[in-house]
Amino acid sequence: MPKLIQYLIRYSSYPLMMGLSLFFLLPVAAGELSYWPYVPCIAAIAIALVALLEQIQPYEQTWLTDHEDTGVDILHASFSIVMIFMTAECITLFRKLIDITSFWPSTLPIWLQLLIVGLVIDFGLWLMHWLSHKKRFLWKLHALHHSAERLYWLNGERRHPLSAILLAAPGIICITLIGAPANLIGTWMGLTAIHLAFQHANLDYSVGVFRHLLGVAEVHRWHHKYGFGRKNFGEFWMIWDHLFGTYYYESKPVKAGQVGLKTALPKTYLKQIRWPFARKNQ
């Protein structure tokens, strides 16, 4: 492959795709376009492009091959992605049933409103992620995500359904009670789905010094490395890790054979769902 193409993929794939995704999603955040089917379609296209780029310029060649995980990861991702894209609908229904006094700063520019939504939701994700490595029961639910023996675009959504709900719920509940519009919350969740594909991507890409701000693959791979799981809990941003002293990065690459768990989890979907509740794991 020409070095120019390699360079462009390495340094422009994340900013270009996230920037274009944000550009096309902002009309939804502003209420100018309907959430369905616009946001899911934009997210699906962007995630598919991440998967394609992995095949063109992989970070780790051996992670391109199936590790007896593709089928089960599809099932896990199906639940997680449906949950992400039903968030706006659930919030809309919730507000029809319960009257909430809004404290939302609706006069601010739409990009700033979206940023506020992102900060609240992302801090909730960081906090629950951190707790998932501290509290025994939460860890048993979260361990499924860390059981992956390779990192690639699909296993960003490799999560136990209950863990996925517990991770996202606090931030989403808080921003809903503040009064953020459902279309803003849904737009941010759609953007997060694209980011999560990049965060776990088996793609040789870099964001340079912005790795210290964004939870991209360069820093998130360290979270999945043996012995480093209690670092880099950030989902979208790394600001919380800097604030609470859990940020870690070094230029040495995380390679094949260095991720996963020492404890073997079942390979099939239903057994993975039951695993945290098995008596022998209590």
Contacts (Cβ under 8 Å, ≥6 apart) of 71:
269
pLDDT given for residue 72 in this prediction: 96
| CA distance readout (Å), 89 to 34, 110, 192, 214, 270 | 11, 20, 17, 28, 28
- Judged against a pLDDT cut of 70, whether residue 27 lies above it is answered with yes
Lowest mean pLDDT among 28-32, 42-46, 73-77, 89-93: 89-93
Its sign, for the CA torsion 132, 137, 143, 145, is: negative
pLDDT tens column, 198-215? 999 999 999 999 999 999
Helix, strand, coil shares of the chain, percent, nearest 5, are 65, 0, 35
pLDDT given for residue 98 in this prediction: 85
Q: Which residue has the higher pLDDT, 24 or 1?
A: 24
Domain-by-domain residue ranges, the chain? 3-281
Rounded Cα distance between 157 and 44, Å, is 14
Q: Which residue has the higher pLDDT, 262 or 113?
A: 113
Contacts (Cβ under 8 Å, ≥6 apart) of 150:
60, 62, 63, 67, 69, 202, 256, 259
> What is the pLDDT averaged over residues 132-148?
96
- Judged against a pLDDT cut of 90, whether residue 105 lies above it is answered with yes
The reply to whether omega before 37 is within 30° of 0 (cis) is: yes
* Count of beta carbons in the 10 Å neighbourhood of residue 18: 18
> What is the pLDDT averaged over residues 248-264?
92
pLDDT given for residue 282 in this prediction: 54
Lowest mean pLDDT among 104-108, 213-217, 267-271, 278-282: 278-282
Q: How confident is the model at residue 24 (pLDDT cuts 50, 70, 90)?
A: very high
